Structure 1
Amino acid sequence: MQQRLFGSALQLLFLLSLVAVLLTGAPMAGAQEPGAAPTSTEERAGSLDQNRVARAREYLRDNPISPPDTSSPRATLESFVYIMNEVNTLWMSVRDSYDDSNRLFLSDSEEEKLVLVRALLSKAAQTFDLSGIPVTSRENASVEIALQLQEILDRIPAPLFEDIPGSPAGSSRKAGNAADLPDHWTIPGTSINLLRQDEGELRGQYLFSRSSVERIPEDYAVVRVLPITADRGEDLFEYYTYTPGNLIAPLWYDVIEAGPDLLQYHFADQAYWQWLALAGLLVLYAVVFGYYVRWRRWRAVSVNEGTRIVHAILNPVVVILAASLFRYVCEDQINITGMPLVAVGTSTTAIIWSATAWMVYQLLQLFYVWFSSSAGAARDGLDVSLLRTGFRVFSLAIALIVLGYGATQIGIPIYGVIAGLGVGGLAIALAAQPTIENLIGGIILYADRMVRVGEFCQFDDLAGTVESIGIRSTRIRALDRTLITVANADLAKRKIINYSYRDQFHFRHKLKLRYETSPASLKRVLAAIHDYLLAHEKVIEDPLRVRLIGFDDYAVTVDVYAYVQAATVAAFQEIQEELLFGIREIVEANGSEIAYPSSTVYLSQDKGLQDEQTAGDTAPATGEKEIHAA
């Protein structure tokens, strides 16, 4: 026991020495634990002033987000080693303290230390080129890679820091020797490579290359069976991987440890109990999803459009919450790691961003319903159908932008997303050419202001009131109340007579007056009708004519010609009715009446042709006689 404590004290002194070198670049010297084989790291250690060690340790803890020194291969490797040693010290102290306390939750001081541990792990991950890992899984995957790399370095002969190109961590930034450094450096006996970056903000910095990061899990699988040369006594990556919780195993893990040994067996970098927990979670989600779908189908559909959209928004919200909860349970409770972690992170992120795009679309539709139903002259004057179409196109565009950003979070590059959208858009355009033609036809209808919703129009052989103008088609309510749907492209090619745009309505009627009307009465009727129309506020003064135009079969015809100001057909018909009543009163007041279609028969006695012929014949004979007598 005393030997173990003595060894722990030496280890702590060694860690403090390493931390000091990280920040000061001073040479290291130290002692090794009695009975332990000297390591290359210990050979590099030297004595340090204890005050400097304490200050270095305090600086590292107080500045966990300061970037590591990656200006040279030596600085990068030293930074990683020193940071991970500090991580191990803090992590193990929290774990041992929590295990000995038998408390249900961590204390405040332990939570603060874990926050520092996570910050230091994130700092260690800055020495890796993680561009090959999806953004959504990068944080957790970087922790695994850092722990695996640490275990690899603990099982291989450690190189001397003096043999690594570059200055020590914390001093190379001031040395100015970057031009003498190689483009890359490989840890002896491994395929782990430190590569100088050629572009971006990290240009000139040395990071563990992308290919090395991808090989680290494979290299760890090879060396994990080798003994640990460092005096920690356990594989921290295995503890992190096969235990639940976030860094510290919760108390309920004791139940699993007390169970059958089969639960602790490993398969595909996961313990059996983790696979069982994941399978149970998937079954639970499938059952809950099935019941939720059935519940949604049983619900009555509201007749209010806004209420329906609110119910539709609940679906993506539920999906987002369920996916987030699933990911939290897998990552922070079951602690899925490795490739299953990447699969869970990628799939849940794809679901969350797809549901977010869906939710954004529904929210914009809800905003349209609110906007179109709000009071106000400006809003009432808007074309509701045009507003609906515009909101739908705008909502779809925003949803696609959100979906494209979500694609970048699962590892699809933004340029690939844009190119994919371009190629996909071209394919859709070719496949949906009639639909696009109808869309352009609808835009033409809007742009030329041919028709609007609520207007009465005649389209060649059909007439009716326009009810809606959609992306593809226009709906027309015919006079017999049937609903006619016409493609926008076809409608735009037709001859359109829009009665709603008339600023004046033609008032023209031919009055049939009785033949018994005297000329004086007829003149009074014409003058009175003309004065009546001229005095009416809705009748245009010019042109205005009231003239006798003929004597027809059964009546005297009077032509009344004028224009009436009215906003709608209904308003014109109301004014027309008023005028016709007034004209009839004028006709009757001036001694005439409206003629009915009729025929008049006059009876007289016919004298016959014989008498007339006799009289005619007698006259010439007498004349002749008179002439002859003369």
Structure 2
Amino acid sequence: MRQWRIPKTEITIRRVDNGDREGQFLFSAETVAQLETFYGRVRHLPYRPGVIGGFFEWYSLSPGNLLPPRWLLSLVRFSELPSWLVREIWDQTIWQWLALFLTLLVTVKAIIFAGGLYRAKMRGKAAALRQRALRILFMLLAVGILTAAAYVIDDVVNITGRALLVVVGFLVGLRLLFWACLVFQGCNFLAELFVLSPRIDSRGIDGSMVRTMANLIGIFLSLSLFFYGAGQLGVSIVPVITGLGVVGLALSLAAKPTVENVIGGLTLFADRPVRVGDFCRFGGTSGTVVEIGLRSTRIQGLDRTVTSIPNAEFSQLQLVNVSRRDYILLETTLGLRYETTLDQLRWVLARLREMLLAHPEVHDFPEARVRFVGFNAYSLDISVRAYIATSDLDVFLAVQEDILFRIGEIVDQAGTAFAFPSNTTYVTRDAAPERKRREEVEEEFRKESDGVGASTPGTIEEQQDHAPFESQETSEP
């Protein structure tokens, strides 16, 4: 038989002779083209009583969406299932409950397996871009697994009623959560791609700002997607938003330090006093900036420990950015022995100036300075001041070492030496005052006393009256 027409109708079913569906009986093209016409003719007619009795029960307790998929029919003959498997419990057959449990078990196992692969690939110090890509791949796999599970449960196993609402609703909600995380990770992935641009320092404050803005945009988009999906699932958004307004007011009061830290972080991004990788001094502490985050800044000290400082506090500190200097100052004071003669001192000063001016690593401007600055308690002090043409501390230390060696050679060539803290004690025999001179002074004083009287006047006027010289009176004009 090649075709069959339903009696007293124009609906025709024909056998397919070629193609992927060869051998199947399908509605003819003419019938499909006239479906709207056929429906308009019978839509006002009532259903025939008893014709479709028990149809819903048959549909809900059968696999597939009205008809089982062909691949499922090739695996299982439902007409030959044992009677206890088709027994109805809570609006589902036993085989449907078993298939539901098996589907959920396979779903969980598949997600765990995908997570295991993700953790295996994340071992070691993977690059940030690779980490983001692996997270996105894992979440895409999770979304695909959950989508396939929802399809099998709804369209293949044909779970219906409240069980379908609970199970598929849970799977869709979980898938929505993965989608939100996927959007967040996608924003971070795009930020890492953007940071790879040669115009942006990936470790600098520009890279940190791009990552921070990507985090904020990702959070906003993820929450928007989550609330939209919740609304599609039937969850009312208005009470949630109202509750968030009240909770947000409470959180704004409780999270005042966090808000201050965020504003401090934005201030650091705008002013850019330091960048990631800069060596700086602040509050008596020195270290290298490891990360400038939205809430805190991480500093790695010289002892390799990492300190997290809230941005609100860090932005108010007096920051000395050592890495921003163009030159490094070499400043020292030389102390020569007091046995050094002035000619030796002048020779040392001249040789030191010549050495610094000729040194290739000493910058010409500001000009190097060598001066004799004073007599110390135990040394003759010479001030040496020069700028080394580098910003690298290791290079500076090497140049400083070379200059100090040359200074030592110059001092040695001058025939003098460096002084060290010391006290010199001179030991001599104490001589008594000269007796003859004492007697002469005493005799002279007695003669003067005899000439002016035995008693010494007690007032200035009396002394003037007995003075051995004549006073000259001056008259007013």
TM-score, normalization by structure 1: 0.56
Return the alpha-carbon distance in structure 2 between the equivalents of residues 119 and 412 of structure 1: 41
Return the alpha-carbon distance in structure 1 between the equivalents of residues 326 and 65 of structure 2: 75
Alignment partner, residue 502 of structure 1: 325
Q: Secondary structure at the match of 1:155?
A: coil
Gaps of 5+ in 2: 451-477
Alignment partner, residue 334 of structure 1: 157
Q: Secondary structure at the match of 1:507?
A: strand
Q: Report matched runs for 1:142-541 at 5 Å.
A: 154-155=46-47, 226-228=49-51, 240-249=59-68, 250=70, 251=73, 255-261=77-83, 263-264=85-86, 270-271=92-93, 273-285=95-107, 288=109, 292=113, 302-306=123-127, 309=132, 312-313=135-136, 315-366=138-189, 376=198, 378-379=200-201, 382-383=204-205, 384-411=207-234, 428-537=251-360, 538-541=362-365
Matched residue type, 1:227: G
Alignment partner, residue 469 of structure 2: none
Offset of 1:557 from its aligned partner?
1.2
Alignment identity in percent? 32
Hey, which of these two has a bigger chunk of helix by percent? 1
Q: What does the per-residue CA deviation read over 1:288-313, in whole Å, with 9 as the maximum and x for residues that have no partner?
A: 36974996799696122346555544
Distance 1:484 1:118, change over 3 A: farther
Alignment partner, residue 9 of structure 1: 7
Q: Assess if the C-alpha contact under 8 Å between 1:457 and 1:498 holds in 2.
A: yes
Q: Assess if the C-alpha contact under 8 Å between 2:107 and 2:146 holds in 1.
A: no
Matched, 1:573 2:404: no
Q: Secondary structure at the match of 2:365?
A: coil
Offset of 1:244 from its aligned partner?
1.9
Return the alpha-carbon distance in structure 2 between the equivalents of residues 467 and 586 of structure 1: 44
Matched residue type, 1:503: D
TM-score, normalization by structure 2: 0.71
Matched, 1:589 2:420: no
Offset of 1:617 from its aligned partner?
1.6
Return the alpha-carbon distance in structure 1 between the equivalents of residues 445 and 147 of structure 2: 135
Alignment partner, residue 439 of structure 2: 617
Distance 1:343 1:597, change over 3 A: same
Return the alpha-carbon distance in structure 2 between the equivalents of residues 361 and 499 of structure 1: 36
Matched, 1:107 2:5: no
Return the alpha-carbon distance in structure 2 between the equivalents of residues 299 and 275 of structure 1: 35
Return the alpha-carbon distance in structure 2 between the equivalents of residues 281 and 341 of structure 1: 13
Distance 1:386 1:507, change over 3 A: same
Matched residue type, 1:155: Y
Q: Secondary structure at the match of 1:587?
A: helix
Offset of 1:512 from its aligned partner?
0.9
Alignment: residue pair count: 434
Offset of 1:555 from its aligned partner?
1.4
Gaps of 5+ in 1: 16-88, 125-145, 157-225
Return the alpha-carbon distance in structure 2 between the equivalents of residues 407 and 353 of structure 1: 8
Offset of 1:489 from its aligned partner?
1.6
Matched residue type, 1:459: F
Q: Assess if the C-alpha contact under 8 Å between 2:262 and 2:311 holds in 1.
A: yes
Q: Assess if the C-alpha contact under 8 Å between 2:111 and 2:142 holds in 1.
A: no
Q: Assess if the C-alpha contact under 8 Å between 2:291 and 2:299 holds in 1.
A: yes
Return the alpha-carbon distance in structure 2 between the equivalents of residues 560 and 114 of structure 1: 105
Q: What does the per-residue CA deviation read over 1:539-585, in whole Å, with 9 as the maximum and x for residues that have no partner?
A: 34346432222112221112223444432444433333333333333
Return the alpha-carbon distance in structure 2 between the equivalents of residues 457 and 111 of structure 1: 81
Alignment partner, residue 140 of structure 1: none
Q: Assess if the C-alpha contact under 8 Å between 1:349 and 1:409 holds in 2.
A: no
Return the alpha-carbon distance in structure 2 between the equivalents of residues 506 and 297 of structure 1: 51
Q: Secondary structure at the match of 2:77?
A: helix
